[in-house]
Amino acid sequence: MASIWVFHGPNLNLVGLREPEHYGSHTLLEINQEIVQTANQVGMIAECRQTNHEGDLIDWIQALSPEDFLILNPGAWTHTSYAIRDAIKAVSVPTVEVHLSNIHAREAFRANSVIAPVCIGQVSGLGADGYILALRYAIDYQNRHSEKVIESGN
Ligand code: DQA
């Protein structure tokens, strides 16, 4: 069954404690709970994971398929990881990149995302709400996709 996955990259386990002026005061647990509940309300399943290890994230992405949907906050790997970019491209999983802070309004190095070119789009600067907006998009996307599969009889 197609699923919505939410992967958080390095240091995002510290959200709520870490630089609240940039990342807000909600903990990752609270953010994940809201994501899971919002998906459940419309009968969908969202699974959230966090890692500080780049290889783990690459393995998780490689296990996805084009029928899944990925909401990804790559943390600082946003600005550096061609390996994560290649993994998304390799499995053709539809992906939306999310950032709690506005990466375009901070240090110059944050403004460039090497991940964004392989994503449908990017949500940046809307705090924890950004995940919920990306989730609503993912739900619509999955509904549209499953209608197409039913129409074509596949
Ligand atoms: C972040 C922005 C990144 O530049 C930073 O390295 C993070 C968090 C965000 O959610 O705003 O770890 O991805």
Q: Separation of 30 CA from ligand 1 center, angstroms?
A: 18
The atom number, within ligand 1, closest to the CA of 125 reads 11
Kindly indicate the confidence band of residue 146, based on its pLDDT and cuts at 50, 70 and 90. Answer: confident
Q: Separation of 76 CA from ligand 1 center, angstroms?
A: 6
59 pLDDT more than 60: yes
**Cα–Cα–Cα angle for 122, 123, 129, nearest 5°?**
155
- Domain 4-152, CATH number (from 3.40.50.9100, 3.40.640.10, 3.40.50.10490, 3.30.470.10): 3.40.50.9100
**pLDDT tens-digit profile of 67-121?**
999 999 999 999 999 999 999 999 999 999 999 999 999 999 999 999 999 999 9
Query: Ligand 1 site: residues with CB under 6 angstroms?
Result: 11, 73, 75-76, 78, 99-101, 103, 110
Nearest CA to ligand 1 atom 9: 99
**pLDDT tens-digit profile of 28-50?**
999 999 999 999 999 999 999 99
b/e sequence 8-18, b meaning 16+ C-beta within 10 Å:
bbbebbebbee
